Amino acid sequence: MTDSKDTPVIEIRDLHKAYGQLEVLKGVDLVAPRGHVVSLIGSSGSGKSTLLRCCNLLEDSQQGSIRFEGEDVLWKGTGLARHPADRMQVTRIRTNLSMVFQQFNLWAHLTILQNVMEAPVTVLKRDPKEVEEKARHYLAKVGIGDKADNWPAQLSGGQQQRAAIARALCMEPRALLFDEPTSALDPELEQEVVRVIKALADEGRTMLLVTHDMKLAADCSDHVIFLHQGKIEEQGAPAELFGNPKTERLRGFLSATAA
Ligand SMILES: Nc1ncnc2c1ncn2[C@@H]1O[C@H](COP(=O)(O)OP(=O)(O)OP(=O)(O)O)[C@@H](O)[C@H]1O
């Protein structure tokens, strides 16, 4: 692994992905330098989640490259993690590129604290005492330190999503991948999560953010990519993109195809 500070945390080149005959990604490039937030916006079915899942090795792809801190993390057409060495690499990549899903995916039978501690203790074999300290720190950071001993069902949707963010942070990843983190939430709960994401962006965390929320993308991104039918339609800094006529056209097709 290269450790130059100039090496992008995530670098995707000419990525192609198909499910059978359905071509979902048709040559996508994306670069996320350290400390940058890159948002992916696009109509439903444009391939945003698929791109994120390829980064996290939940999907393989047919062509192109994905590099994490200069290291090639793509298996082309061979299936993922068949070899034990590959499995170790998959764990390492998933630890470093921690994913926050739309549907929080908390374990119902574990308390919030246990949910946050689960992967660092059981998968990464870290010391439970140290992990607990970190877990409490991250729960406090996302504003739900007082919910550590509650069950997920006792929390609101916004609180559950914040717990899911704390769980991702507790892996101490090099980058966070957010897949529509606010779309399962009511507007007022959404704002709780938006505040946490903005605070993480202000801290200089590297993040890829898939969102339908133009305002969220505009407020916290260094770079915004509009994906349409598996290709990049437009991209740039929010200040260049938002409010100009090109983006208004994109906003049009977004609202026409919103899920
Ligand atoms: N496992 C799968 N098998 C077959 N087709 C899939 C699979 N996953 C996604 N697709 C298809 O790939 C296309 C892109 O899906 P993807 O979830 O990446 O879109 P998206 O841009 O994230 O959409 P949305 O905004 O609605 O979440 C869609 O046509 C979808 O039906």
Query: Which range among 93-102, 107-116, 249-258 has the greatest average pLDDT?
Result: 107-116
Find the helix or strand (DSSP H, E) in which 19 lies: strand 10-19
Residue with tokens 């919103």: 258
Asked if 226 and 232 touch (Cβ cutoff 8 Å), the reply is yes
86 CA to centre of ligand 1 in angstroms: 26
pLDDT tens-digit map of 164-210: 999 999 999 999 999 998 888 888 888 888 889 989 988 889 999 99
- Tell me, what's the pLDDT at 212? 84
Ligand 1 mean position to 85 CA, how many Å?
Answer: 29
What local confidence, expressed as pLDDT, does residue 39 receive?
Answer: 95
Query: How many whole angstroms separate alpha carbon 134 and alpha carbon 237?
Result: 34
The CATH architecture annotation of domain 10-102+174-257 reads 3-Layer(aba) Sandwich (3.40)
Q: Dump pLDDT digits (tens) for 6-53.
A: 789 999 999 999 998 999 999 999 999 999 999 999 888 999 999 999
Amino acid, single-letter form, for residue 123: V
pLDDT of 84 higher than 70: no
Residue 103 Cβ < 6 Å to ligand 1: no
Confidence of residue 245 (pLDDT cuts 50, 70, 90): low
The neighbour count for residue 239, using CB atoms within 10 Å, is 9
In the reported structure, the alpha carbon of residue 4 is separated from the centroid of ligand 1 by a whole-number distance in angstroms of 34
Q: Would you say the CB of residue 158 lies under 6 angstroms from ligand 1? A: no
Return the pLDDT at 103: 83
* Buried b / exposed e along 92-116 (16+ C-beta atoms within 10 A): ebbbbbbbbbbebebeeeebbbbbb
- Whether 245 lines ligand 1, by a CB cut-off of 6 Å, is no
DSSP string over 122-140: IIS---HHHHHHHHHHHHH
Whole-Å CA distances, 136 to 3, 8, 141, 142, 167: 30, 30, 8, 10, 10
Q: Is this complex's ipTM strictly greater than 0.90? A: yes
Average pLDDT in the chain: 86
Q: 45: CA distance to ligand 1 center in Å?
A: 5
> Which two tokens mark 89?
């690499």
Q: Are 120 and 131 in contact (CB under 8 A)?
A: yes
Here the tokens at position 163 are 């717990």
Q: How many CB atoms lie within 10 A of CB 57?
A: 21
pLDDT of residue 259: 40
Contact yes or no for 57/93 (Cβ under 8 A):
yes
Beta carbon of 36 within 6 Å of any ligand 1 atom: no
Q: How far is the CA of 145 from the centre of ligand 1 (A)?
A: 35
pLDDT band at 244 (very low <50, low <70, confident <90, very high): low
CA dist 99 and 214 (Å) reads 20
Give me the pLDDT at residue 77, please.
46
Q: Is the CB of 254 under 6 A from ligand 1?
A: no
- Closest by CA to 68, choosing from 44, 101, 112, 32, is 32
Report pLDDT digits (tens) over 137-150: 999 999 999 999 99
Q: Yes or no: say if 195 and 183 are a contact pair by the CB < 8 Å rule.
A: no
Domain ranges (residues) in the chain: 10-102+174-257
Q: Is the CB of 259 under 6 A from ligand 1?
A: yes
Band of residue 110 on the pLDDT scale cut at 50, 70, 90 = very high
Segment 57-86 shows an average pLDDT of: 70
**What's the CA gap between 182 and 189, in Å, rounded?**
8
Q: Which of 16, 19, 39, 179 to mutate to test the pocket of ligand 1 (most atoms within 8 A of CB)?
A: 19
pLDDT value, residue 248: 62
Per-residue confidence band for 258, with pLDDT thresholds at 50, 70 and 90 = very low
Ligand 1: nearest atom to the Cα of 259: 26
Q: For residue 210, give the nearest of 59, 47, 28, 19 by alpha carbon.
A: 47
For residues 248 and 237, the model is more confident at 237
